[in-house]
Amino acid sequence: MLDGSIAAQILWGGAYEGFKERPVIAKQLAVNVCQYMFQDRYEDIKVFESYRPWTDWFYDVAWDVTWMVLDSRERKMWFICATDTD
């Protein structure tokens, strides 16, 4: 699920730092992101995930990630991108 994928990225950290808190904190942060976007309406959501650097904005190293979240009820699209470099 999306919250688990976001939590995993938070835990992994970036080029030089990992997440310094307990894993449950990363999971709660990710749950909070999902709650903000679509509450508990998982049935209305489609998530697409990519680790490819599909635009020059990404640094094309190990930390590129994109999530596209489609909310069919609210007719919204959420687009979350993250990258880092060393």
What are the per-10-residue average pLDDT scores of the chain (86 residues)? 96 90 98 96 97 95 94 98 91
pLDDT of residue 39: 95
For the chain, what is the domain count? Answer: 1
Alpha carbon 3 to chain centroid, angstroms: 7
Query: What is the DSSP secondary structure assignment for residue 66, as one 8-state letter?
Result: E
pLDDT of residue 1: 87
CA distance between the termini of the chain = 29
Q: Is 78 left (phi over 0), alpha (psi -120 to 50) or beta?
A: beta
Structural domain containing residue 26: 2-82
